[in-house]
Amino acid sequence: MPDGRMNQNSQDGCPHAAGILDFTDKDPFGFYAGLLAGPSPVWDEGAQAWLVHDFQQCLDCERNETRFANMYLDADPITVAIKGGGANITLSREPEHMKLRRFHFRLLSADSVRVFRGRHIRPVITGLLDRLEGAATADLAEQYAAQIPPRIICALLGMPTDDRTVGQILDANEAIVRFIASGYRDMVLRDAALAASERLNAMLLPYVRDRRERPGDDFISRVWLDAPKDGVVLDEAGVMGICRELFFAGSDTSVHGIANALHLLLADPAVKDRVAADRDTALPALVEEALRLLNVVQFRHRRCLADTQVGATTIRQGEVIILLHAAANRDPARFECPHEVRLDRPEPTAHLAFGRGIRSCIGAQLARAEMQEALGLLLDRFPAVAPDAEQPAPCFRGLYMRSMGPLHVKLRPAAP
């Protein structure tokens, strides 16, 4: 590759001879701060990609799919299989993509999510809080955050919500996430992700077939019944593709989102007191700050379809950019005091946590509802919940998707 892009010590290279892939299970925010102090984009030798960390650049690139395409454009058959194939929205192109988005937005509309809060979200969370009754301490990352979203998505799909099923979903999704984090390059991780995908297919297929013959009031039935109304041509494989993406996006990402929101809630007693006293404004604001400050999906890959100027750099056709949302969401050119939790921040939802453009997250309303209910119901049940200083402190875990953990807490005040 010409003009110094293979040389990390060149003016285009990442500072301090570090790259994005060096931060598995490590705090990346010092690295991000170093990037934000310099020009964007910069070349990352380890990732073999350009890191775009400027907020406006990320926004512009993500909105311009004619220049910066989803990495699943022309994906090989194994990668397609890992993602579930069929009518999977992340694999789709126009005009099918917009048909699928219309269906998903109706399935996960704000009105629908309001119904889900009472029918599925609150009962699942209440059941998990019941498990903690009588306990003096808990790890809210493992015993609470990790348990909520997979149970909710299983309930919405009309599937079992038992511990064994949830554990299998989380394990399989994590294997797929590790392959994505590698930039779709690591062949060992690819094989593990393919095996995980096959396990998820085996779990879903019996329900997909059953709901075709005996539809009910669940997501799988609604795919069969309603997606064709939006022009989506369906067969069994198509329904599997839609349900697989719901399975993936509806469980794994929200686990990290809830954990991060819990961490911010508990890290500062003043923030916790304000949220406890103001559920209508401060609670949703804290959720947005957790999404902005800590993110869930740290970055997203795009492939350049034609030579394009980004900042002062020419990105060449075929090169990969990494939209580093977790850095851009702390861009001081966009956010005042970007490293602080501010519950009165103007435009609290104007971050990149859910992406932008036609590939933005269609489950954002559901994720927000789960995060808000997880925090609010926890405070209702255990108003004195506080970090357990006798246990290990939280740290970042993961790479592509990450969250703070463990979240050891004392659920009740210490006995006098």
* Within-domain flag for 96: yes
* Within-domain flag for 2: no
Q: Residue 47: beta bridge partners?
A: none
* Within-domain flag for 416: no
Structure-block tokens of residue 27? 């705090």
Please give the pLDDT value at position 1: 38
Residues (pLDDT < 50) of the chain are: 1-11
Domain tally, the chain? 1
> The domain that contains 35 carries what CATH number?
1.10.630.10
Q: How far is residue 98's CA from residue 245's CA, in Å, rounded to a whole number?
A: 16
C-alpha distances (whole Å) from 144 to each of 126, 132, 149, 407 are 10, 9, 10, 10
Please give the pLDDT value at position 14: 61
DSSP E strand boundaries for 103-225? 137-139
* Within-domain flag for 193: yes
* Within-domain flag for 6: no
Three-state DSSP class for residue 236: helix
| Cβ neighbour number for residue 397 with a 10 Å cutoff | 17
- Could you list the residue range(s) of the whole structural domain that residue 251 is in? 15-410
* Within-domain flag for 301: yes
C-alpha distances (whole Å) from 284 to each of 272, 279, 342, 367 are 13, 7, 12, 12
Q: How far is residue 325's CA from residue 52's CA, in Å, rounded to a whole number?
A: 8
* Within-domain flag for 415: no
Please give the pLDDT value at position 15: 52
Q: How far is residue 89's CA from residue 73's CA, in Å, rounded to a whole number?
A: 12
* Within-domain flag for 299: yes
Which ranges of 7-157 does DSSP label H, i.e. alpha helix? 29-36, 55-63, 77-83, 96-107, 110-116, 122-132, 140, 148-157
